[in-house]
Structure 1
Amino acid sequence: MSLPARGGPRADITVYQWSERSLTGRGDVGPVATSLDREALLRWNSRIEHLVWASQEHPGDTTPGFVYFRHENEAAVLRKLPVRDPNGRAGSTLTHVLTGPAGGIDLHLALAACRSDWDDWLPPPVRQSALLDGQAARGSGAERLERVPLDLVRQLLVEEQRLLGTLDTAAEDVPDDLLVRLAEALMEQPGAPLTVVGSPVDGEVVVHALAGLLGRVVLGSWGFATREENDAAKDLPQFVFVRGDGTGTRHATRRRVDAKADPGPPGPLRDQAARLVAFQRRRGTGALSRLLPDQPMANPSKIREWAAGHQVAPGLMSDVMSLLEAAPQGDLSDREDAYLRSPTAVPRIQLELDRATEGQLARLLALWRPDSLELQPYRHLREEIHTWALHRAFDGAGGDLLRELSLAPPGGRVVYRVLEERLESAARRRADFDVLPLLRIALQIGVSQTALDDMMRLLVARFSMAFLMSEVDRISRIAPAQARTLLESCARRRPGKERHHPFDIMRRTQFHAEAVDRMAPQNPWQAVHLYRLLLLCTTGEQLGQREVLDVLEAAGRTPSPALLQALLDGCRRGKAQDTVHAVVVQQYFRQHLPARPHDGDHGPDRRGPRD
């Protein structure tokens, strides 16, 4: 197939092949076709001319080798294919070079290219099939090629052909011992040149496995050469793979790992590398990503600190969220199981739950159902999960988390604990405390009535009645049902001196007349009940003359009939009742009699005519 024309970043293609006179004017293997201008060609040729030769395991071997490296803000990928020269002699090479911006030709694209058929996206004149069949002639105008659209190459290799997924599967075949030794070498000397001798799997597969393990941990160029005769050439990339038959490594400055040799005594990071490999292979790259630092590191001591920081128990490197997700399936090693059972794990688990996303908490709630037998040894952790999920819900969580909470509502102890923690936090910060979200969420997720009562009892005990009465008024404007719930809880509070001090609030609201209308719309007897609750909150159970006068003063010139009925129901006989009756009569006449006429307008004069 040919890639269609398209905008966006583009890469250049250069072909190296045996020629009597290449584009640089020399014989032997050199550039024979390119999309580069002459200046750029000479610049790139100086960087890669010593890297273009292919390596053969044996005569007749046509397995390609690949090279990837970056130079400042540019990068190149080479595919080197062993071929015969025009005279039929073995040992020549056909090399395609893709060059362009480093942001476009990154490690992922380079690794995917190692697994692709380049003829799928190369310009037709320089495809392997055309060149090996002799269809592209030198000197026929084919030297200047069209550039390749990088976004389409990436789309083809990564999205359509899913070649990185193919590499993921192949990486499972990298032996644990080899991966541990290479990880140890990288962690001890970040970015240092490393030669791998006799790898049992392809070089690009090993690099892909290492990049998945340490690409975001260890700083390095991550350049590679997958199939070299030796590591003696200059300017070789960071990782070089050579044969294991003894022909190979001569460059003294490179560290070497021989896949078939004894690994020797472990270094200071061998155990940490082994734990890291074991964790990734047991829990996957998704779990590993939660351990990774913000930026790759170049300092071995920093890398050692990072690795030690994720050792949750002796000999156990793990991500707590992965263990919590694995526990319901019974997928824990003995060491992991012992860790989750231990009370010493709780502080670390609390820290990770606090950092968890809403999606992660929702998933844990779905996994940690109360009826799961596998989770009985970890019952104390279910309470921790519910605690942090309820905190997040009170902070305004989305629908998924609320849905999971409603399927298995937290118990009263969790609700009480979360409320206490939030009250203490607000007190430390001297911040206002908003009661409404707590009431709304508790009712929405369906906490038990006992838990709701305990929650309301704690709220009512912690705040002054003046504050609570102002909250009843405020909440009634937004959520009348929740305002009623709060008022009913306030009325159950034991009497105290402080109960006689909320009248400043009540005067401003005419004894909550509008709030009662909102909480009991078109329901006069429910309004009477609510006024009785307000009287209990502000005056207590016994209403004497003084309390009646205070209430009537707060209610204003025209108190609600429902309030007057509540006063009559609750006040003592005698002066208190007489006072209420007088207001009732006064209100009746005010509503049913016309205004009293002014003096001098009393009808006709019945005394007769004057002299």
Structure 2
Amino acid sequence: MTTVDQILFGWAERDHGGNAGVRPLAHSGLPTIDRWAKRLQYVWATQDGQGDRTEAAASLVHLVFDDEAAVLRKLPSRNPHGRGGATLTHVLVGAPHAIGPGLALGLHDWPGWREHEQDGTGSRLAPLDLASLEEAARPGLADLRERVAGVPAGQLTALVARVLERPAEDFSVIARPDLALPMMTALLDITGPVSGRPWTFASRESTDKGSHQPRVVFLGARPPQSMYINRRNRVDVAETPPDTDTTRFAARLVDLYREAGHAALERIRPRDPIRTTDDVTAWRKSVPVVDGRIVDPRAHFDVLLDDALLAGAAARGALASVRDRLAGELRGQPAPWLAGALRRWRRDERRAWHHPELRDLLLHEAVQACLAGQGPDPLVEAVRDADPPPAVVAASFRPQVPRGGLDLGRAGHRRLLDVALRLGLPAAELDRAGLLAASPADELLDCVGRYADAYPEAAHLVLRHLGDAGESRGTARLWYDHGLLLGPVDRIAGGDRVKEVDCFRHLLLAAHGPRLKRDDAAALIERAGVRAPLGLFAAALELASDERTEQRIRYELSEQFLRDHGYAVPAPGSGRRHRPGGPVLGRPPAPPGPPAARPAPYPEEAHRTHPAGPLPDTARAPHGAVPEPPQRGPSAPQWAGWGPPAAPAHGIDGAPDAPPDGHGTRRGRPGRPDTVNVLFVTALSLLLLGAACYVLLALVL
């Protein structure tokens, strides 16, 4: 295990020799402690930020000697007696190859500084594990690279240009203290290793004088004039550099670094470290420039934007390696870049014909970027216009789904599903167990309403997930609040009766469970109203818990059939109004008796046809089919003799026939005698009269 030693410098009172001042207070058993005490006898002192101890005034220093390297954190503080300027310096010492500039920069905010800094001579320190330090430095270095975006591009260009003009010399940079570490990180990433002295630095100093100064010293302000001969190159980044080829090259390097990161500079940097201005000139001439910016000469993703680079890469047979490097990198490009590339690689473009594999790769990466939530709506529209294959969308969608399924109550999960459907996700991808198990019922109902028009198959599968989840508390109320989703289900079914019944079946399962009780059925009928679709009642019949519930539903079906054919309207002048979902024509709300108690229809009525066609049977429909309304019951019998009928009959238009007048009626024609009966009575009277006359004559004679 490689270790790193520690030293803590601070103010100490007089020792046995009568000396007081700053010296090592503690260390981890470093054998070269005396050598480091001499090396740092002046480095520890600073005039910037004297006074109260403050983390913002800390300075980070990286030094390299022949056989050892160190990273220092200098923190202004006060000694126990109130003496200002007693800098507390914490030093990590190790081999030069172990403690490089990247590690030193990454440790700028390392918590270990504060954990191990202790005032007093009794402090005890231990060696540190180098691997643990490297792990702790990674997030710190990434943070500095992100902070480069806050550095003005002109100031960073001024620094890089001056360094490229004299790559092997030392520099004193006058810049704001908070920009020192991000600027040093960018300078190191852009120029890479430089032959000669390694990159060392001090981030917050008040002077650049003294022996063994770092290569780059950042000063908060220009130091006062002195007699000391200083051979360092002072760079004031606030001053505009001269317009030269080197300055323009530095500006392009800075633009590439800010847009594509440090990896892009590693791809275009020369293989050998730069030593002189001639090396810089050769580097500048070796990189291709497209539209005023540097592109990768090894045919990176810029082949998608420039036909000349594409042709050159194809001629060299480098497209296969390009595809390997492009996978995973294109989705990290800015959204406008991806949208522009998709427009250039439309299906009808010549380049897409010759290199379909590149178009497929670009489309796949753009879909990944959209589903990962990186792209705004314009990018989603551009990808949808490119018509990605459904299989590509499905393959990219599956890894994005969390292990516990989609929770549509969360904006990120809801956006993932919306974007996937907009890009052409096959509806069958939603038919997966547990996909929407984490989604609450109200979100699923809202989802059905949103998707019914544009994605009816997806909305149908969402209803299946809702039904498969089973009855949950409050789902019935939520369903009723959504108007029973009558409109969305109608659009989902699109005239398919089996699909309509299936949709309502799953809604009933979620709202009332697998057994629909009579009270729930009554509430459902009341909510559905007079225009409820037959598919709703068909699904309710399938789930009816008992015969009474089934009768209640069939009764409503019968009334709806009569209404649909114009029979169930109130009598003129009756003043009665039909209540939606309730009884008609003033009949009591109780359903009729069991089917066995109803009189059988007359034989001739069993074959009677309705103007709209034969009346359907009321037998229970098979699973998934919509039952037609029940057949009419038999009409009241017609009386063949005298006397009134048992009850006033109603006409077809709903109005009652005229009542009897007391003299009898004949086939519904009141006030006229029956001709057959009159003749029969007359003949009988004549016979009786003739018989009487014959008897009298016989007695006389």
Q: Is the 8 A contact 1:24 1:42 kept in 2?
A: no
What does residue 601 of structure 1 align with?
none
Match status 1:19 vs 2:12: yes
User: What is the CA–CA distance in structure 2 between the aligned matches of 1:324 and 1:378, rounded to whole Å?
Assistant: 21
Contact kept in structure 2, 1:24 and 1:30, CA below 8 Å = no
Q: Secondary structure at the match of 1:257?
A: strand
Q: Which residue of 2 aligns with 1:42?
A: 34
8 Å contact from structure 2 (residues 194, 273) kept in 1: yes
1:402 aligned residue: none
Shift of 1:214: 1.6
Number of the residue aligned with 1:356: 321
CA offsets per residue over residues 250-287 of structure 1, 9 Å max, x none? 65211111123x32423441111111111222233333
Shift of residue 239, structure 1, vs aligned partner: 0.6
Whichever residue aligns with residue 21 of structure 2, its letter is D
Match runs of 1:3-18 below 5 Å:
8-18=1-11
The amino acid that maps onto 1:72 is D
> Which entry has the higher C-alpha Rg, 1 or 2?
2
User: Over residues 118-150 of structure 1, what are the superposed CA-to-partner deviations in whole Å (9 max), with x where a residue is unaligned?
Assistant: 34663xxxx2xx42xxxx3x3x5x4x6321222
Question: Do the aligned partners of 1:183 and 1:273 also contact (CA within 8 Å) in 2?
Answer: yes
- The amino acid across from 1:146 in the alignment is A
User: Which residue of 2 is the match for residue 116 of structure 1?
Assistant: 110
Q: Is residue 345 of structure 2 the alignment partner of residue 375 of structure 1?
A: yes
Equivalent in 186, 209, 219 of residue 242 of structure 1 = 219
Identify the structure with bigger relative contact order (alpha carbons < 8 Å, sequence gap 6+). Answer: 1
Deviates more, 1:55-64 or 1:146-155: 55-64
Cα deviation, 1:72-119, whole Å, max 9, x if unaligned, reads: 242101111111123212222111111011222122211111122334
List runs of 5+ in structure 1 lacking aligned partners. 1-7, 328-336, 391-406, 409-611
Which letter maps to 2:133?
Answer: V
1:290 equivalenced with 2:273 (yes/no): no
Corresponding pairs, count: 355
Residue 314 of structure 1 deviates from its aligned partner by 7.2
* Kept after mapping to 2: 8 A contact 1:22/1:32: no
**Are positions 1:53 and 2:45 aligned together?**
yes
Alignment partners' CA distance in 2, 1:195 and 1:19: 32
> Once structures 1 and 2 are overlaid, which stretch shifts more, 355-364 or 215-224?
355-364
What TM-score results when the alignment is normalised by the length of structure 2?
0.45
1-structure distance, mates of 2:351, 2:247: 33
Change over 3 Å in CA distance of 1:119–1:183 after alignment to 2: closer
CA distance in structure 2 between the partners assigned to 1:25 and 1:385 by the alignment: 82
For residues 18-417 of structure 1, the aligned pairs below 5 Å read 18-21=11-14, 26-37=19-30, 40-57=32-49, 59-60=51-52, 62=54, 63-119=57-113, 122=116, 127=117, 130-131=118-119, 136=120, 138=121, 140=122, 142=123, 145-158=125-138, 162-199=139-176, 201-216=178-193, 220-244=197-221, 246-247=223-224, 252-260=230-238, 262-313=239-290, 315-319=292-296, 324=301, 340=306, 343=308, 346-347=311-312, 350-351=315-316, 353=318, 356-357=321-322, 359-360=324-325, 372-376=342-346, 379=349, 381-382=351-352, 385=355
Deviation at 1:65, TM superposition (A): 0.6
Task: For 1:363 and 1:381, locate their aligned partners in 2 and report how far apart those are by CA, in whole Å.
Answer: 22
Q: 1:222 to 1:22 in 2, by over 3 A?
A: farther
Query: Aligned partner of 1:360: which letter?
Result: R
The DSSP-based 3-state class of the residue aligned with 1:290 is helix
Q: Would the aligned equivalents of 1:361 and 1:385 in 2 still touch at CA under 8 Å?
A: no
Pairwise CA RMSD? 3.9
Q: Equivalents in 2 of 1:361, 1:147: separation in Å?
A: 43
Paired residues of 1:216 and 1:292 also in contact (CA < 8 A): no
Describe the SS at the equivalent of 2:99. coil
Shift of the 61–120 alpha-carbon distance from structure 1 to 2, 3 Å rule, reads closer
- Normalized per residue, the structure richer in helix is 1
Do the aligned residues in 2 keep the contact of 1:230 with 1:247 (CA within 8 Å)? no
State the SS of the aligned residue for 1:294: coil
CA shift, 1:225, in A, is 0.5
Partner of 1:597: none
Amino-acid identity (%) = 25
Alignment of 1:524-543 (within 5 A): none
- Look up the SS of the partner of 1:85 in the other structure: coil
In structure 2, the CA distance between the partners of 1:247 and 1:204, relative to structure 1 (3 Å rule), is same
Tell me how far 1:247 sits from its aligned partner.
4.2
- Helix, strand or coil at the partner of 1:69: strand
8 A Cα contact 1:191 1:238, kept in partner: no
What's the CA shift string for 1:337-396, capped at 9, x where partnerless? 6xx25x587336745835835513667999999x94332599454466569999xxxxxx
Mark the runs of 5 or more structure 2 residues left unpaired by the alignment: 332-336, 361-388, 391-701
Closer, same or farther: CA 150–360 of 1 in aligned 2, 3 Å: closer
CA distance in 2, matches of 1:357, 1:22: 67
TM-score, normalised by the number of residues in structure 1: 0.51
1:146 match: secondary structure:
coil
- Kept in 2, the 8 Å contact 1:23–1:31? The answer is no
Contact 1:16 1:33 in 2 (8 A): yes
Task: After superposition, give the CA deviation of every residue in 1:520-547 in whole Å (9 maximum; x if it has no partner).
Answer: xxxxxxxxxxxxxxxxxxxxxxxxxxxx
Please name the residue that 2:621 is paired with.
none
AA in 1 matched with 2:162: A
Counterpart of 1:83, as a letter, is S
Q: Quick one: distance in 2 between partners of 1:29 and 1:99?
A: 18
Q: Greater shift after overlay, 68-77 or 93-102? A: 68-77
Contact 1:12–1:148, Cα closer than 8 Å, also in 2? yes
Q: Give a deviation string over 1:145-200, Cα, whole Å, max 9, x none.
A: 32122212222332xxx112211211211211111111112212123111111336
Which AA in structure 2 matches 1:256?
R
Deviations 1:6-31 (A, max 9, x none): xx111111111111246998421111
Q: Distance in 1 between matches of 2:271 and 2:73?
A: 33
Look up the SS of the partner of 1:306 in the other structure. Answer: helix
> What residue number does 2:381 align with?
none
Note the alpha carbon deviations across 1:280-323, whole angstroms, 9 max, x for none. 22233333332122232212212221122113347432226787
Query: Within 2, Cα distance between the matches of 1:83 and 1:273?
Result: 40
1-side partners of 2:347 and 2:300: how far apart? 14
Give me the whole-angstrom Cα distance separating, in 2, the residues matched to 1:378 and 1:97.
64
Partner Cα distance (2:16, 2:152) in 1: 44
- In structure 1, what residue type is equivalent to 2:343? L
Q: 1:71/1:199 Cα in 2 relative to 1: closer, same or farther (>3 Å)? A: same
Q: Which position in structure 2 is the counterpart of 1:562? A: none
Task: State how far apart, in whole Å, the 2-side matches of 1:234 and 1:384 are.
Answer: 63
2:285 and 2:178 mapped to 1: Cα distance? 30
The one-letter amino acid of 1:178's match is: Q
Deviation at 1:220, TM superposition (A): 4.9
Aligned to 2:662: none
Partner amino acid, structure 2, of 1:356? S
**What code does the residue aligned with 1:41 have?**
I
Structure 2 counterpart of 1:40, which letter? T
Cα gap change, 1:70 to 1:58, in 2 (>3 Å): closer
